[in-house]
Structure 1
Amino acid sequence: MSRILAFNFALLFVSNAHGQEVSASLDRAATSIGESVTLSVTCTNFSPSSQPMLPSIPGLRFANAGTSRQFQLANGARISSYTFNILVTPLKPGNYTLSPIQVRHKSGLLKPKPLTLRVLPAGEQPKGSNALSQYAYVRLLPTKTTAYVGEVIPIEIQLHYIDGVNVQMPELIADGFNVAAFPKHTQSRMQKGNQIYQVLTFRTAAVPVKAGELQLGPVKQSMVLRVRQKQNRRSPFNDPFDGFFNRYQQKPVNLEAKAQPITVKPLPNANKPASFNGAVGRYAMQANLSPLEVTVGDPVTVNVRISGQGAIESLNLPKLNWPGFKSYEPSVTTKKENPLGLLGSRIFEQVVIPENDKIAEVPRIEFSFFDPVTTRYRVLAKGPFPLKVKPGDKPL
């Protein structure tokens, strides 16, 4: 039977008005003597000038385990993060509070809320875990814990393991969200204590479709671990190759990272444009038509391109049903500029036919969206466009 490994990740933030924040997390909330845990201190949207200042806690030993840096785009904003990885080695059992953790910032010292770590005697395993937890674990890392309905939330799912095969795609439970398909994952390595872990990073994006206190997750992922078996005795023939091909045991496991709470705010009703149809992000619009001179009954092609950052594939134009024109359904093309489709263009090509020669222009085209960075609605407009319509030979 596959064993279930459940991991509790404490993820706590402190932030300022500029979106600059410090978060602190433990890869496990409980461990035992001799089994280290990783403390990650992440600085978002600013570069720290020095290492985090850690508390002196009798019974715990801290050691630097390296740093990492990431950049990504979300809803028109460039998000950067700088992470300090710190190895925490327990020396005696007990319940510990990791506080204060402090990071220098130009505005002063930023301090995430305290983290708690439970340490059991050597050989004991935390309830709900087992000995395989040291060989593999999975983490669910949303880039934000507060968003608007329709706002894109980039997500990372990280699988850490020492040795294994048959890794399955992660399953993200996300009721109340639309989730993008996973592009090809990336692979890296990290050191934790004296052990090297393989790290598979799966990226996706979730878009909340309703307001409220929602749960993103849990994440479930299965694989087969290759666990080294202890050699209790040597071969009587003193063969150095004895047991060489039998010193690993394959163990199927189901890994799980717990759900993360996401606060989803409704879009404001105040100042909502009449043309608004649900678009959230940051966009620009281009529009043109051809030909500019036609006869009554001839087609005119209206081309509209909306480019920017957000849920590109969900963008739609308001209906172009203008008096004096016969309209057809537009053809739509999507061009993605990143694997998740969060950056790109949506191109609409619509044919309209003037029904009389009194028409002198194609009306103004509007597209409106909500900008989650400025928390305001914006209206983009092009036109009206001059159009010369000559009388036709035949009545329509």
Structure 2
Amino acid sequence: MKVVLGRKTVLSNPLALKVYPPGQLKVSGSGDGADATAVSLDELAFVRGRRLNGDRSVYIGEDVPVEVELWIDEKLRDSRVFWPELNFNQVSFRDFQSANPENPRFSGYPQQRRAVHDGRRYTVHVFRSVIIPLAAGKIAGSVEAKMRLRIPVQKRRRNTTSMWDDDFFDGIFSRAREVDHSVRFDFPDLTVKALPEAPSGAYFLGLLGSWKVEYTTDQQVFRAGNPFTLELKISGNGSSDVLQAPELNLPGFRIYPPEIKRDAGSASIRYAVIPLRAGEATIALNTAVFDLVSEKYQIFKFERKITIDQAQEGVADSGVGQPRIEGAAEQSESVRARDAADKPASNILYLKKISDGGVNLPLYFNNLLWLLILLMIGPLCFLVNEARWLRRERMNSRPALLRRRNALGRRRKILRKLRKAEPEQFNKLVQDEVVPYLNDLLGQPPGTTATELAQKVQNRDLAECLKNSGEAGFMPGTVVPNHDELKKRILRLLKKTVFVWCVLVFATLHGGEMEDAEAAAFNAYDRGDFNAAAEYFRSRLDAQRPNPAILYNLGNALCQSGDLAGSLVCYEKAHLLAPRDNDIIENLNFVRRQLMQPEVGQIRNPYDLLIHIVEMFRPDQWLLVAAAAWSCLWLLATLRRRLGFNRKVFSLLLLLFIFFLALAACSFQFGGKYSGKTAVVMRDATPLLSLPSESSGKIERTIPAGMKVKIIELRRDWVRVRLDRFEGWMKTDGIQALKL
């Protein structure tokens, strides 16, 4: 390199640079000075991997534990290690989210150990994971790891005898440079075999390993219409994440969707089963698991013959105490009518008096007036207060305006004194009250006399009155003509009245006596003619203004007649309109228990408590709460000059919390229960098809009456719904949407 400095040119010595490929950078390994051995980064830091199952082949779905080791020379202290990246084709990884939320593919944070390799001491970081093959054949895999190495800078030894030139300080204040380094390791190919065909007559649970299945029932005596639980208890060694519940096909029984619980080394599957008719029946179920040791299916058989007794007297026939079972032995119309007339009504299924208090649709119409008032009253109060405060500040800064304001405040008092004044006191009252009042009103200096004021008043009549009154006060011999006339003239000139009227509109509510048709419906319900009562309540429904009391009464009549799905729809809609009505909630939970569904309003954890608070009000009522908080925020801004700092901050935070909570609850409800996307299955054993066609669609499963499904798509006479993890098509006449 040529360096020019003035007239002098200097040519530097040549500098040679050597570039190494990635990982081949030479650094000092051992020794000092010229005797140091140069090694590459690939020798100081590398990665190794292995499968803990050895070289044997595996089956589809089998857990294959994998171990990754990062080797780093101990001299590279404080080097930073990152999570390695596993690359396999056609596999899934075991989810370790609960144990390692930072990287769910690995079972936890890496473990460390010390090891010696090729005469060097290394720190080994061990990572563990589990892969699950998804297809048969050869599976290739690799692991890539990135690390940031801190390489110490080798310093030359100084030839000096200074006491400060000590190698001890080089160890404390030594320097190092950071180098990014990537390493890779390729796993040997893994051979994956397909599972043999499952034995006929047995359902494969999807489990691989050493497992044991036991079958139990929670009852020994069985009755028609009484539910019991069939449980599969599974224990052993292996992963239960792939456990699949078998689909039971038991003629003469209603079977509800299973409940699956998975734990480490155990699992359970529970079915709620209801016998439909009395007699002899057989419960048979065969399941299979694949044993990896013997490489064969292990079958667990269950077969039990049971005797189903008749339903208890007064329970199965009521249609209320137990659910109405489709396919059960039907009674004759005469027997059913006789039993309906003889049996007493349930003590909770009583009717309510129907009032005119329906709920308007859309929901925000119910409180629209109050909503607008609350949205406007807060800002209005703030503006009025700010205007008054600005006016007061202007008055305080201008004494003339303050005197005029005080004068206007004394006007009525002066007028009353003038009306009651005697003739001999009139002149003195004018001098003491009227003249100072006019001085303040007109902005004249205090102490201005009546005569001086008369010269500055533009009204001739008022000026003449003041002049005569002033002359009478300072010249006792002067006679003022007609005190009464002077009094009337002054009163007429000073009198100015402003009336402000505020009109308030109050709405009155009135009730009427029960109509004859309504009384007839109540009488029909009391004597057991529930169909007639249901027809009347159904005729009273108003699509634009539904009444929760009518829906509640209709649900009672349908429940008493045995239509539990129809009564559930009525109670659900009534609960949407009146979410805090205890009678509606009690009857809704009563029907839910009959249909083997969870009850509403149950609080088991903080999340349930939050949902309970949100569902205490309708969306329009939450909007009203938000509007009230909005109005209070403006009132707080209005009163901010009168409150202390701590009180202002606390009130502001509380009102903001209520405001945003109300808006969030309103949005949550409009996107959930009030969205109209939830429906109730109205017929028992309704098929869920894979396609919107009865001829080409495959039956995925059957859904009992009363189950809730989520509507995803509408297509002519078909609707696509979701229930748990199942999706399929149903006829639109088989469900009823919970839409207001």
Q: TM-score, normalised by structure 1?
A: 0.60
Question: Contact conserved, 1:4 with 1:256, CA < 8 A, in 2?
Answer: no
Partners of 1:300 and 1:358 in 2: CA distance: 16
The structure 2 residue matched to 1:155, chosen from 66, 72, 90, is 66
Q: Which residue of 2 aligns with 1:225?
A: 149
Q: Which residue of 2 aligns with 1:172?
A: 86
Partners of 1:332 and 1:167 in 2: CA distance: 40
Given the superposition, is the C-alpha separation of residues 280 and 247 from structure 1 closer, same or farther in structure 2, using an over 3 Å criterion?
A: same
> Which aligned pairs between 1:7-46 and structure 2 lie closer than 5 A?
none
* Residue identity matched to 2:233: R
Partners of 1:209 and 1:350 in 2: CA distance: 29
Q: Which residue of 1 aligns with 2:54?
A: 144
Q: Percent identity among equivalent residues?
A: 28
The structure 2 residue matched to 1:208, chosen from 125, 133, 137, is 133
The structure 1 residue matched to 2:263, chosen from 311, 335, 339, is 335
Secondary structure class of the residue paired with 1:259: strand
The structure 1 residue matched to 2:275, chosen from 337, 350, 354, is 354
Q: Deviations over 1:192-215 (max 9, x none)?
A: 244321112212222211111111
Q: Which residue of 2 aligns with 1:266?
A: 194
Given the superposition, is the C-alpha separation of residues 287 and 233 from structure 1 closer, same or farther in structure 2, using an over 3 Å criterion?
A: same
Q: Which residue of 1 aligns with 2:300?
A: 380
The structure 2 residue matched to 1:320, chosen from 248, 255, 265, is 248
Given the superposition, is the C-alpha separation of residues 4 and 203 from structure 1 closer, same or farther in structure 2, using an over 3 Å criterion?
A: farther
Question: Contact conserved, 1:144 with 1:153, CA < 8 A, in 2?
Answer: no
Secondary structure class of the residue paired with 2:247: coil
Q: Deviations over 1:290-320 (max 9, x none)?
A: 1232432222112212122233211123112
* Residue identity matched to 1:203: R
Secondary structure class of the residue paired with 1:312: coil
* Displacement after TM superposition at 1:283 (Å): 0.9
Question: Contact conserved, 2:202 with 2:287, CA < 8 A, in 1?
Answer: no
Partners of 2:115 and 2:307 in 1: CA distance: 63
Given the superposition, is the C-alpha separation of residues 267 and 172 from structure 1 closer, same or farther in structure 2, using an over 3 Å criterion?
A: same
Question: Contact conserved, 2:142 with 2:186, CA < 8 A, in 1?
Answer: yes
* Residue identity matched to 1:169: W
The structure 2 residue matched to 1:295, chosen from 219, 223, 230, is 223
Partners of 1:183 and 1:270 in 2: CA distance: 32
Secondary structure class of the residue paired with 1:210: coil
Partners of 2:156 and 2:305 in 1: CA distance: 85
Q: Which residue of 2 aligns with 1:187?
A: 112
> Which aligned pairs between 1:73-84 and structure 2 lie closer than 5 A?
none
Partners of 2:172 and 2:305 in 1: CA distance: 78
Partners of 1:209 and 1:387 in 2: CA distance: 45
Partners of 2:22 and 2:234 in 1: CA distance: 46
Question: Contact conserved, 1:164 with 1:224, CA < 8 A, in 2?
Answer: no
Work out which structure has the larger RCO, using CA pairs closer than 8 Å and 6 or more positions apart in sequence.
1
Does residue 365 (structure 1) correspond to residue 274 (structure 2)? The answer is no
Partners of 2:23 and 2:250 in 1: CA distance: 60
Runs of at least 5 residues in structure 2 that lack an aligned partner in the other structure: 1-20, 30-36, 95-104, 326-740
* Residue identity matched to 2:90: G
* Residue identity matched to 1:207: I
The structure 1 residue matched to 2:44, chosen from 135, 150, 155, is 135
Secondary structure class of the residue paired with 2:81: coil
Q: Deviations over 1:256-278 (max 9, x none)?
A: 11132011112223856642254
Question: Contact conserved, 1:228 with 1:247, CA < 8 A, in 2?
Answer: yes
Question: Contact conserved, 2:225 with 2:276, CA < 8 A, in 1?
Answer: yes
Partners of 1:4 and 1:366 in 2: CA distance: 60
* Displacement after TM superposition at 1:383 (Å): 3.7
* Displacement after TM superposition at 1:160 (Å): 1.5
Secondary structure class of the residue paired with 1:134: helix
Partners of 2:250 and 2:78 in 1: CA distance: 62
Question: Contact conserved, 1:189 with 1:197, CA < 8 A, in 2?
Answer: yes
Q: Which residue of 1 aligns with 2:176?
A: 248
Question: Contact conserved, 1:190 with 1:199, CA < 8 A, in 2?
Answer: yes
Does residue 198 (structure 1) correspond to residue 108 (structure 2)? The answer is no
CA RMSD of aligned residues (A): 3.0
Moved more, 270-279 or 197-206: 270-279
Given the superposition, is the C-alpha separation of residues 135 and 296 from structure 1 closer, same or farther in structure 2, using an over 3 Å criterion?
A: same
Q: Deviations over 1:221-253 (max 9, x none)?
A: 222222232223439651431473333322222
Q: Deviations over 1:122-175 (max 9, x none)?
A: 96x8xxxxx111221111101233112222212111111124443222211111
Q: Deviations over 1:24-43 (max 9, x none)?
A: xxxxxxxx9x99xxxxxxxx
Instruction: Indicate the structure with greater helix content.
Output: 2
Partners of 2:210 and 2:230 in 1: CA distance: 23
Partners of 2:234 and 2:240 in 1: CA distance: 9
Given the superposition, is the C-alpha separation of residues 271 and 358 from structure 1 closer, same or farther in structure 2, using an over 3 Å criterion?
A: closer
Question: Contact conserved, 2:50 with 2:187, CA < 8 A, in 1?
Answer: no
Partners of 2:135 and 2:242 in 1: CA distance: 15
Question: Contact conserved, 1:359 with 1:388, CA < 8 A, in 2?
Answer: yes
Q: Which residue of 1 aligns with 2:399?
A: none
Partners of 1:270 and 1:381 in 2: CA distance: 14
Given the superposition, is the C-alpha separation of residues 314 and 192 from structure 1 closer, same or farther in structure 2, using an over 3 Å criterion?
A: same
Runs ≥4 residues deviating over 6 A: none
Give the number of aligned pairs.
267
Partners of 2:269 and 2:23 in 1: CA distance: 48
